[in-house]
Amino acid sequence: MGNFTLGRYIPLDSPIHRMDPRAKIMAMLFVLIAIFFPAGWIGYGIIFVAVSIVILLGKLSFTYILKSMKPMMFMMFFLLIMNCLVLKTGEPLFTIYSFTVYSDAVFQTLYIVVRLLLMIMITTCLTATTKPLDMTLGIEDLLKPFTKIGVPAHEIAMLISIALRFIPDLIDETTRIIKAQESRGVDLKEGKMKERIMAILSLIVPLFVSAFQRAEDLANAMEARGYAPGEERTRYKVLKMEMRDWILLFCAFLLLVGMIVLSRFK
Amino acid sequence: MSITFEKVSHIYSDGTPYRFVALSDVDLDIIEGQMTAIVGQTGSGKSTLVQHLNGLLLPASGKINVLDHVIEAGSHPKGLKSLRGKVGLVFQFPEYQLFEETVLKDIAFGPKNFGFTEKEAIEKARHAMKLVSLGKEFEEKSPLELSGGQKRRVAIAGILAMDPQVLVLDEPTAGLDPQGTIQMMELFRELNQKHHKTVLIVTHDMEQVFNYCDRVIVMAKGSVHTHTTCEEFFRDSSLCNSLAILPPALIRMKDALKEKGFTIKDEMEDIHELSKEIAREVKHG
Ligand SMILES: Nc1ncnc2c1ncn2[C@@H]1O[C@H](COP(=O)(O)OP(=O)(O)OP(=O)(O)O)[C@@H](O)[C@H]1O
Ligand SMILES: [Mg+2]
């Protein structure tokens, strides 16, 4: 559980870490959309280089990002098999037991894998360099214009920040309860059906109890400090767009436009 | 048979930016049949250390010997379940692990997992309830409707019902009322002296260390700073002071008297002995 890396904030000090979360979120959206334009290998090459620069500036390591890809390996492998079975266009590459694999199957899979890799790289750039709290501030600000049509921007942001705040806690709590029950002889890997159900129950019940307890405690603590949803609140931290934030936004926008143009000329 | 640690290290989240060395090169020889206290500032690695005793955490390097079980870094340990039956570990704030519908069933959960029949397990649970002074009226209650202190007792009873040879308690009295704390500590002493259990107890309370324990292990920043007998540890307050630990009241009193010119012998068991010493001094001096 402790090795769960996808989407975690990495506390470092870098120019990317110090950027305005709103700029980072918008830039991420631009580049994510850019990926969906079929700009070919050149296009993906450009995006890859751009994202790599951000990763280097953010002092993130590539092995770390590759590691967070791990849970998706199985899915990609499954995709490759499916494509090999279904796609029968392009050049025949090789034959195993009278079963021929065509080039399109491999290329199609590669295409998806590359896109996925890029998407994970881009989102990691955001989540690894932005504190959850800053992220929610950013989301709240970006949703502000939509409050006019009834979108509860502040409530959504608060919801997200509370959920994010509790994920590591719940993971810790789960490991704790697993350990406590293992000390009482619970065997999660082996045992008969009935024992396994008992074992799982012995985890889920305490987990729910403590999750509800935490939720209640937090609600009380917030109310005790005068929190009321919908009320006007001042902010402790005021976000301010600086030159570098505008540059990031501009570059991301340029990338998006570039991809659109590239996909037209193909 | 004894419990030994040889050059044991533990690293949390190895291979990620969150990597943290919580134990480094710990050498320990814990004497069986004794009551040993583990003290140290918060974050010094006490909980990490005790979780190695029943194989919940495995060492990143080094070797642990517990009751003929060998846990070595790198190899997958065998017989962990039987080890967990012999080394009962009560977690910090164990009340969160209760899940059965009734107190009795929850306490019987451990023994059942270790292969006792339903009837035997219930019997053991009843016995454990008596040990932690939970009356019969609690048997059919839901663990969720108990007070914090009562839950704590149920959780401790859940481990005692397994009848382990070694009992490891991570801050068992934190948050209990003074009366309950004394009851618990008396219980652990009784288990140690009458039933010859090896007891390891993580605590922040120096009075408990002084009054109940034979030996004391001081952890600091993931290493064993001091491992010695309690008499040695409390001989004078300089060792405590150097560790930023407040010595027990009796030791502070003794030191204050010495400073004022009293001659008082170093071995001091309890308050009666101290008062006798003072009386002697006053009469003669
Ligand atoms: N699951 C974990 N992942 C990463 N680091 C951890 C984990 N558990 C503990 N640590 C770190 O290891 C160090 C030792 O923790 P440990 O729980 O052993 O301390 P402790 O001495 O029991 O403290 P306390 O008196 O507060 O209970 C702490 O600095 C803690 O931050
Ligand atoms: Mg602890």
Do B151 and B190 fall into the same domain?
yes
Q: Which helix (H) or strand (E) holds A248?
A: helix A243-264
A73-132 pLDDT tens trace: 888 888 888 888 887 777 777 777 777 778 888 888 888 888 888 888 898 889 889 988
Rounded Cα–Cα distance for residues B81 and A185 (Å): 6
pLDDT band at A5 (very low <50, low <70, confident <90, very high): low
Rounded Cα–Cα distance for residues A137 and A248 (Å): 19
A206-259 pLDDT tens trace: 999 888 988 999 999 989 988 887 777 777 778 888 899 999 999 999 999 999
Do B254 and B226 fall into the same domain?
no
Domain ranges of chain A: 1-134+238-266, 153-229
Q: Please report the pLDDT score of residue A6 as a whole number.
A: 63
Do B159 and B255 fall into the same domain?
no
pTM of the model: 0.77
Do B43 and B87 fall into the same domain?
yes
Say how many Å lie between the CA of residue B78 and the centre of ligand 1: 26
pLDDT band at A2 (very low <50, low <70, confident <90, very high): very low
Do B224 and B273 fall into the same domain?
no
- Selecting from B12, B84, B97 the residue whose C-beta is nearest the C-beta of A2 gives B12
Q: Look up the ipTM and state it.
A: 0.86
Q: CATH number of the domain that B187 lies in?
A: 3.40.50.300
b (16+ CB within 10 A) / e for A140-164: bbbbeeeeeeeeebbeebbeebeeb
String of DSSP letters for A60-96 = --HHHHHHHHHHHHHHHHHHHHHHHHH---S-EEEEE
B140-186 pLDDT tens trace: 999 988 988 899 999 999 999 999 999 999 999 988 889 889 999 99
pLDDT band at A1 (very low <50, low <70, confident <90, very high): very low
pLDDT band at B77 (very low <50, low <70, confident <90, very high): confident
Q: Please report the pLDDT score of residue B285 as a whole number.
A: 66
Q: Please report the pLDDT score of residue B269 as a whole number.
A: 72
Residue B220 CB neighbour total at 10 angstroms: 15
Rounded Cα–Cα distance for residues B5 and B26 (Å): 6
The rounded percent of chain A whose pLDDT value lies above 70 is 97
| Residue corresponding to tokens 């080094």 | B62
Between chains, do A176 and B96 touch, taking CB under 8 Å as contact? yes
Do B204 and B84 fall into the same domain?
yes
Which of A28, A33, A21, A252 has its CA nearest to residue A157?
A21
Helices (H), B117-214: 118-131, 148-160, 178-193, 206-212
Q: Which helix (H) or strand (E) holds A151?
A: none
Q: Which residue range is the domain that position B145 belongs to?
A: 2-247
Residue A236 CB neighbour total at 10 angstroms: 7
Between chains, do A176 and B16 touch, taking CB under 8 Å as contact? no
* Mean pLDDT in residue range B23-43: 93
A154-176 pLDDT tens trace: 888 888 888 877 887 888 888 88
Q: Give residue ranges with CB within 6 A of ligand 1.
A: A 2; B 12-13, 20, 22, 40, 42-48, 92
Rounded Cα–Cα distance for residues B120 and A261 (Å): 77
- Closest-CA distance of chain B to residue A184, Å: 5
* Domain tally, chain B: 2
Residues 6 or more apart from B63 whose CB is under 8 A from it? B5, B6, B7, B8, B70, B71, B72, B73
The answer to whether B25 touches B31, Cβ cutoff 8 Å, is no
